[in-house]
Amino acid sequence: MPGGVSSPGRASIPRATLRKDRWRRAPIITFILLSAWVLYALLRTVWQAAYYDDKAHYLSPFYSPCVTASCNPGARDFGTWFGHFPPIIPFAIVTLPFLLGFRLTCYYYRRSYYRAFWASPPGCGVAEPHASYSGETKFPLIVQNLHRYFWLAAGLISVINTWDVIQAFRPNDGHSFGFGLGTIIMLANVVLLWAYTLSCHSCRHIVGGRLRNFSAHPLRYKAWVYVSKLNAKHMQLAWTTLATLALTDGYIALVASGAFSDPRILH
Ligand code: FES
């Protein structure tokens, strides 16, 4: 039984695509970059070291919030919720399912990894190799519909990351005010994380959706206009935040391990 692009009623085009541009480039680049990022994040979360610098109070976003008894005591700003985890379980297990859920169900990433990893389809106007298509109506892909709930969790984690930046302005156990290059990197990362979170398609709907008219809701209209502007940059923010997350974590790993001395701008 023919399926997909060979289904009855579909145009019978023998070639996979009539496109003449370099359409393979985007999915290949996506495949390489996403694979590299996932590998880096995996290595860093299982490493369980060099994630916190006491003196500067830099905590890696990959380990925040640090709430197990195995965490460095100085990094436990939100208390100790759990006992010691066995070394095989990363500290990040507390937030990782939510952050992964948020990114994996993101509309933009869905488009990207469906193309890059499943060739479903490989590109616009390119026939997919799969015989059938059930959309996101069955398990496991029906889980993609939980995106709006992951958005709420991601917002909460962004609040925690914001707290971490505030603490990075209060080095030496909060006894002074100061900042270094790492603080600026953390700050840039959290601003971009907020921009990515607020540019989410679900956020845009939560802010301005289900209204009969905007004139009766001027505040929501203003917020919707602002979020819509950010939403137009969602793809760029998706990639930029992956880069800044890795940069922030990598920088803190260098400082915390003693491989690099953080230049202080104000002590
Ligand atoms: S659509 Fe990408 S984060 Fe919501």
Q: Where are the beta strands (DSSP E) in the chain?
A: 52-53, 58-59, 179-180, 264-266
Does residue 108's CB lie within 6 angstroms of at least one atom of ligand 1? yes
User: Quick one: CA dihedral 99, 100, 104, 109, positive or negative?
Assistant: positive
Alpha carbons 7 and 219: distance in angstroms, whole number: 48
Mutation to probe ligand 1, out of 99, 100, 104, 107 (largest number of atoms < 8 A from CB): 107
What DSSP state is assigned to residue 262?
P
Mind listing the pLDDT tens digit for each residue in 191-205?
999 999 999 999 999
pTM of the model: 0.93
Structure tokens at 222: 């203003």
The answer to whether 115 touches 76, Cβ cutoff 8 Å, is no
CB neighbourhood size of 199 (10 A): 22
Nearest CA among 107, 102, 109, 224 for reference residue 158: 102
Mind listing the pLDDT tens digit for each residue in 48-95?
999 999 999 999 999 999 999 999 999 999 999 999 988 889 888 999
Q: What is the pLDDT of residue 2?
A: 58
Distances (CA, A) of 225 to 12, 201, 219: 43, 13, 10
**pLDDT (mean) for 143-156:** 97
234 CA: nearest ligand 1 atom: 2
Does residue 150's CB lie within 6 angstroms of at least one atom of ligand 1? no
**243, pLDDT greater than 70:** yes
State yes or no: cis peptide before 140, omega within 30 of 0.
Answer: yes
Report which residue type is found at 231: N
Nearest CA among 260, 258, 236 for reference residue 185: 260
Structure tokens at 230: 């950010």
Nearest CA among 53, 36, 37, 149 for reference residue 98: 149
- Position of tokens 């369980």? 48
CB neighbourhood size of 7 (10 A): 12
| Phi, psi of 179, rounded to the nearest 5 degrees | -155, 155
Does residue 202's CB lie within 6 angstroms of at least one atom of ligand 1? yes
Structure tokens at 216: 């009766």
Kindly give the distance from the C-alpha atom of residue 151 to the centroid of ligand 1, in angstroms, as a whole number: 8
Does residue 200's CB lie within 6 angstroms of at least one atom of ligand 1? yes
Q: What is the pLDDT of residue 175?
A: 81
In the chain the first and final C-alpha atoms are separated, in Å, by 71
Alpha carbons 176 and 251: distance in angstroms, whole number: 22
Q: What is the pLDDT of residue 3?
A: 64
Does residue 148's CB lie within 6 angstroms of at least one atom of ligand 1? no
- Domain layout of the chain by residue ranges: 21-266
Pairing of strands 179-180, 264-266: antiparallel
The answer to whether 62 touches 41, Cβ cutoff 8 Å, is yes
Q: What is the pLDDT of residue 107?
A: 97
In this structure, of 31-45, 48-62, 162-176, the range with the lowest mean pLDDT score is: 162-176
**247, pLDDT greater than 70:** yes
